[in-house]
């Protein structure tokens, strides 16, 4: 069974949500998703990987990406409908998953230069914790911290090496013209960011 989803011109996270929904209705086969930017392609690749589906894409002469996601009924993990997420996926209140959510390159308000120093100190402090956060999420101005020129790249790499998942909002990177300058972690989308935050037992917001 083959299906097609047209997500051209649609902003994150709609391509991923539509693809998830279409895959959930397929037992097996190839899903073709049409998108018009490389961030959407990367987000769909991550989604396909998490669902244990095959993945490939090609770009046509008009600039549209044709993403092909292969779902094998014997090997693919079940793909849940975003509107029907099971309560079993949610951690209990005593869970150990911690998410650090950073939406700015500064910490606090009043003086931006001081705020940058404080944020750098905060990220360094995370590397010294006995149990670093499970996931570190960057969006809006915080996206600059995981890109070229950030003073926190080495500390972020240490966190990644210790097991912290580092994700940065793809829409934010594109907005600031930083998509090609990501230096640590991976590009994410708002659906995944929302999912990670909802699964966390604790959220740190500097």
Contact assessment for residue 14 and residue 42, using Cβ atoms and an 8 Å cutoff = no
CA-based max dimension of the chain:
58
**Phi/psi at 41 (5° precision):** -60, -45
Q: Which CATH superfamily is domain 89-204 in?
A: DsrEFH-like (3.40.1260.10)
Kindly tell me if the per-residue pLDDT of 2 is higher than 90.
no
Dist. CA 52–CA 27, nearest whole Å: 13
**Structure confidence at residue 10 as a pLDDT band (50, 70, 90):** confident
pLDDT one-digit tens code per residue, 107-134? 999 999 999 999 999 999 999 888 999 9
pLDDT on residue 73? 61
Dist. CA 94–CA 67, nearest whole Å: 40
pLDDT on residue 74? 57
Domain positions in the chain are 2-84, 89-204
DSSP H helices, 51-179, are 112-127, 153-161, 170-175
pLDDT one-digit tens code per residue, 12-54? 778 888 998 899 888 889 999 999 988 889 889 988 988 889 9
3-state secondary structure of 192: helix
pLDDT one-digit tens code per residue, 55-96? 999 999 999 999 999 998 654 444 444 444 333 333 333 356
- Other Cβ atoms less than 10 A from the Cβ of 140: the count is 15
pTM: 0.69
Least confident of 83-87, 103-107, 180-184: 83-87
Q: What is the chain's mean pLDDT, rounded?
A: 87
Q: Which CATH superfamily is domain 2-84 in?
A: TusA-like domain (3.30.110.40)
3-state secondary structure of 31: strand
């Amino acid at each position: 069974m083959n299906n097609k989803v047209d997500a051209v011109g649609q902003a994150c996270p709609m391509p991923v949500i539509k693809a998830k929904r279409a895959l959930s209705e397929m037992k097996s086969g190839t899903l073709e998703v049409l998108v018009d930017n490389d961030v959407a392609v990367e987000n769909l690749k991550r989604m396909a990987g998490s669902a244990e589906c095959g993945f490939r894409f090609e770009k046509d002469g008009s600039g549209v990406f044709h993403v092909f996601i292969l779902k094998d009924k014997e090997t693919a993990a079940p793909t849940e409908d975003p509107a029907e997420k099971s309560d079993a996926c949610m951690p209990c209140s005593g869970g150990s998953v911690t998410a650090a959510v950073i939406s700015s390159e500064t910490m606090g308000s009043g003086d931006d230069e001081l705020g940058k120093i404080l944020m750098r100190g905060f990220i360094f402090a995370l590397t010294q914790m006995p149990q670093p956060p499970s996931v570190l999420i960057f969006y809006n101005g915080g996206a600059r911290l995981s890109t070229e020129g950030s003073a926190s790249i080495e500390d972020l790499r240490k966190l990644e090496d210790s097991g912290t998942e580092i994700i940065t909002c793809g829409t934010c990177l594109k907005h600031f013209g930083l998509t090609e300058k990501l230096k640590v972690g991976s590009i994410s989308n708002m659906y995944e960011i929302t999912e990670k935050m909802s699964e966390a037992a604790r959220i740190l917001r500097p």
